Amino acid sequence: MVHEIESFFPIWEERFSKSNPPPEGDTWRSLLRPVYWLGNWQFACLDYFHPPLGLEYRCVDAEPFPPFMQKLVDQIEAMTRKMGGSEVPKDWKLNTCLINYYGSKIDNGSEVDMARVGDHKDSEPGPVASISLGERAFFQFVKGRPTDPRNVVMEQWLGDGSLLIFWSKKFKEELFHRVQRVENKTKVLFNDHLDDYKTRRINLTFRYVPDQYIFPLSKMPNEKREDINIYVDKLAEKSEFWRAQK
């Protein structure tokens, strides 16, 4: 599986764009880590998929899951339906995969640790499945103010090969989750094809986006296309799928 994942060429994205500028109090900034998406791509500058208001033109058709991944997804879906029962939506399926590359950025010859992600919720409906590869990550579910340690509801280390599945109103809607830090003990390094970055943990997060909200690139409004053309061009350098979309 690692060899196949290393065949992807992740990219850096900006959080905002011309049609989606930073809100008051925020700034223009890059994501903390490079990413790659399969199934459908939620470009950060399009503001992600956020039901019930942020629905259309957030998710763009992307490369399908490779066979090894689809086989794994089929097993996870069956397991989740068995465990989740009636809490799993009828039409739910894992049709989008975000690959996050946790590691250190090289800045003027020095390594800057970027291996973390702040408090957030996954807005896509239904269960979320997360697979960890490489170094262990310290993962938490929290409520309330981020800096108050009393607000930690659950925490655990996610090791190499671990699978985390979560659902329900509590874990999807009420609580936030975050990665506080990623160890650097085994000194594992993945081939991320990036000159300015060292990846020591890869995380695959599988979610569900209803099909009616996944748009081919050709159907995206002009202002949205202008926002993401720079990323599509970069992806097309290495991906036959993205070359065909241009």
Tens-place pLDDT, residues 186-195: 999 999 999 9
Nearest residue to 231 (alpha-carbon basis) of 69, 17, 6: 17
Identify whether 85 is part of a domain.
yes
Model pLDDT, residue 84: 96
Residue spans of the chain under pLDDT 50: none
Identify whether 18 is part of a domain.
yes
Identify whether 157 is part of a domain.
no
Domain limits for position 241: 2-115+122-132+187-245
Model pLDDT, residue 244: 98
DSSP letter assigned to residue 223 = H
Q: What is the pTM of this model?
A: 0.96
DSSP letter assigned to residue 211 = G
Identify whether 16 is part of a domain.
yes
Between the CA atoms of 232, 235, 236 and 242, what dihedral angle is there, to the nearest 10 degrees? -70
Model pLDDT, residue 197: 98
Model pLDDT, residue 147: 75
How many domains in the chain? 1
Model pLDDT, residue 2: 97
Identify whether 168 is part of a domain.
no
Model pLDDT, residue 144: 78
Give the strands of the sheet with 152-158, arranged side by side.
117-120, 176-182, 137-142, 152-158
Identify whether 105 is part of a domain.
yes
Bridge partners of 38, per DSSP, are 97
Identify whether 209 is part of a domain.
yes
Identify whether 92 is part of a domain.
yes
DSSP letters spanning 39-101: SEE--GGGT--BTTTB-TTSEEE-PPPPHHHHHHHHHHHHHHHHHHGGGS-TT----EEEEEE
